[in-house]
Structure 1
Amino acid sequence: MKTPLCEMLGCDVPIVAFTHCRDVVAAVTKAGGFGVLGAAGHTPEELDIDMGWIVDEVGGRPFGVDIIVPAKYEGKTEGELSVKDLKAMIPPQHRQFLDDMMDRYDVPPLPADDGEKASAYDSEPPMTYAQAVPLMDVAFSYPIRLAVNALGPPPPDMIQRAHDNDVLVGALAGKKVHAERHVAVGVDIVIAQGHEAGGHTGDIATMVLVPEVVDAIAPVPVLAAGGIGNGRQVAAALALGAQGVWCGSVWLTTQEAETHPVVKEKFLAAGSSDTLRSRSRTGKPARQLRSAWTDEWEGDTSPGTLPMPLQPMLIGAASRRIDRAAMNPSNKGAVELANYFVGQVVGQLNESISATRVVEEMISEYLDVMDRFDQFNS
């Protein structure tokens, strides 16, 4: 199962785990894979705590960090608008639609002692360069091996800082042209993410996208992403020319995952057709579990979603209200609304097992595939 990418990253098997949960990063890394911590939802202080914990936990094994710096978002061309200016761009009808939704589903307000401000992102707008810089400051203060960016080529200073610190740079691509742009600016590893993937993803399926990207940017290594959650899918990815796999959804139902309990149960019960791409969480198309939340935003009475970062700024407090209320099963409206990013591979996630066991089963099943191929050739 070893590929040249394993030597680049310093891992035993080319299974890269993207996750927002530090426990999953540590478990996968210690099992021989390579954990990547998604930092977009962290404050710099939270990231510092999690990074320090991971370093202590993995005992010198390499791991990485993913920081979202979109190539395009509202306000970027004006030179990074302030939070105040961006908030002023949110139309009243969108605020009213969201307030009405919370009322119709009986989602209670956040308590006064919640500890978090009712209005999210009072310092820096989410998923912007301004938010990313402090996160990069924290990430590069730790001995990471890989820094990854999604939603466009990494900014020049991310690439420069990474290479100055002997850190590899990765970037996600949903089209061949995206991959070519990444390589042109100095990216070391391209993650070819197919339509099936959870989160921000494009229109081209993994089976088609991966060989296109591999052929276009060789010899730059490619990780295959989208619809990969078992050893057969790992074998298929390597057969397509990838040097490894980038998996995200498969970790969301693991025992270590910090996925909301209600959402985790929904994932375990869902089929592969129970996801859709929706702009309702971030303002860009992102595959997630279908729920009353996505139905409302796609419905006839919806004013439509706003571009990034206005949509996450609009829904930030409402999302916290839903997550908090859904912890109590009697809050049926909040339970109906609760959802999260997940790929079509959710249909094969039927049991909550440890992240370590996921890695072990991937390896075992991959080896079974190789044995079967040997039998075909004998």
Structure 2
Amino acid sequence: VIIAGGLPPRDAITRLKQANGKVICFAVTANMAYNLIRQGVDALIVEGHEAGGHVGPVATSVLAQEIIPAAGEVPVFVAGGIGSGRMMLQYLLMGASGIQMGTRFATAAESPAHPRFKEALIKASAKDALTTAQFDPRIPVIPVRAIVNESTRDFNTLQLGLVAQLERDSITPREAGMKLEEFWIGGLRKAAIEGDVETGSIMAGQSVGLVKSVLTIREILDEFMTEAETEADRIVKILAG
């Protein structure tokens, strides 16, 4: 069972493990990771700010340095901004059990994403994948990283309207937050499945600039392994003097 979107409800991990489940949780801060380890999580996915979709506040490289040494026997998988075998190797050398990638595999030939969605990712650069802003601290907004398009402006307009409703006491902060989440859920489907890359949400990580073409999953994995092996040889030569 993989749990994302914050800390799981109280006793959720214990109950899942009692049912013979294996539990993997996302962690976007060190404190969240430590909390999950104390609760008995079987593995962690450490996701940094460079990732696509909903993101946390801390860079992937910093999270990895904080969490991997403190995780003990708990396997740690690193996610966010990974777009090459060289970077994959660096995290493995730090002690990670593996990595997770979303943006790269979203463009794979086997991916069910719409061809126009894949094309938008291939054309984008890292600077195009920006996170959303929070206009009012009363509205619980989790930043979302996506390629800037009309949906980005629509989100800002929606948020401003919700702030105005808050001022009139015609909506609660929780209700406002839910409306924002509904916006992103529908927006992602519109772009990734229906192919509307103008008004849909093109969620992608900053590694999107490293995606140059549609490849099969096997080709992506082969490319990563070749890059990792080349990087490993380079590091060995440096250490050998």
Task: Give the TM-score normalised by structure 1.
Answer: 0.53
Quick one: percent identity of the two aligned structures? 29
- Aligned with 1:191: secondary structure? strand
> Over residues 239-281 of structure 1, what are the superposed CA-to-partner deviations in whole Å (9 max), with x where a residue is unaligned?
333221121111111111122222211111000010112279x
Q: Does residue 1:355 correspond to 2:222, yes or no?
A: no
> Over residues 15-49 of structure 1, what are the superposed CA-to-partner deviations in whole Å (9 max), with x where a residue is unaligned?
xxxxxxxxxxxxxxxxxxxxxxxxxxxxxxxxxxx
Q: Which amino acid aligns with 1:154?
A: P
Q: Contact 2:112 / 2:193 at 8 angstroms: preserved in 1?
A: no
Q: Which amino acid aligns with 2:56?
A: G
Query: In the aligned structure 2, how far is the partner of 1:169 from the partner of 1:223?
Result: 13
Q: Does residue 1:229 correspond to 2:83, yes or no?
A: yes
- Aligned with 1:273: secondary structure? helix
Q: Contact 1:223 / 1:246 at 8 angstroms: preserved in 2?
A: yes
Shift of 1:298: 2.6
- Aligned with 2:23: secondary structure? strand
Q: Which amino acid aligns with 1:287?
A: R
Which residue of structure 2 aligns with residue 288 of structure 1?
146
Gaps of 5+ in 1: 1-146, 328-333
Shift of 1:190: 1.3
Query: In the aligned structure 2, how far is the partner of 1:215 from the partner of 1:325?
Result: 39
Count of equivalent residues: 224
> Over residues 57-88 of structure 1, what are the superposed CA-to-partner deviations in whole Å (9 max), with x where a residue is unaligned?
xxxxxxxxxxxxxxxxxxxxxxxxxxxxxxxx
Which residue of structure 2 aligns with residue 62 of structure 1?
none
Which residue of structure 2 aligns with residue 172 of structure 1?
26
Which residue of structure 1 aligns with residue 106 of structure 2?
252
Which residue of structure 2 aligns with residue 199 of structure 1?
53
Which residue of structure 2 aligns with residue 148 of structure 1?
2
Q: Flag the structure with higher helix content.
A: 2
Q: 1:335 to 1:189 in 2, by over 3 A?
A: closer
Q: Contact 1:226 / 1:247 at 8 angstroms: preserved in 2?
A: yes
Shift of 1:215: 2.9
Q: Contact 2:126 / 2:206 at 8 angstroms: preserved in 1?
A: yes
- Aligned with 2:81: secondary structure? coil
Q: 1:318 to 1:232 in 2, by over 3 A?
A: closer
Q: 1:219 to 1:355 in 2, by over 3 A?
A: same
Aligned pairs for 1:109-128 (under 5 A) are: none
Which residue of structure 2 aligns with residue 5 of structure 1?
none
Query: In the aligned structure 2, how far is the partner of 1:296 from the partner of 1:215?
Result: 42
Larger Rg: 1
Q: Which amino acid aligns with 2:4?
A: A
Shift of 1:362: 1.4
Aligned pairs for 1:66-215 (under 5 A) are: 147-155=1-9, 158-160=12-14, 162-215=16-69
Task: Give the TM-score normalised by structure 2.
Answer: 0.80
Q: Which amino acid aligns with 1:249?
A: T
Query: In the aligned structure 2, how far is the partner of 1:292 from the partner of 1:300?
Result: 12
RMSD between aligned residues = 3.0
Query: In the aligned structure 2, how far is the partner of 1:314 from the partner of 1:366?
Result: 39
